[in-house]
Structure 1
Amino acid sequence: MQYANTDDGKLIFSPMVAKFLLSRNFQIIDLKSDRNDRNRTIFVFKKDDGIMDAIHDYSRSKRTERGTHGEEGVNSRES
Structure 2
Amino acid sequence: MIPAVQRDHAVRTEGRVYGPEQEKREQLRLEAAERFERGDEATVIAADLRVTERTVRRWRKVRCEFIATSGAGRPPMFGGAG
Alignment TM-score, normalising by the size of structure 1? 0.31
Could you say which structure has the higher strand fraction?
A: 1
Larger Rg: 2
Structure 2 length-normalised TM? 0.30
Larger RCO (CA under 8 A, 6+ residues apart): 1
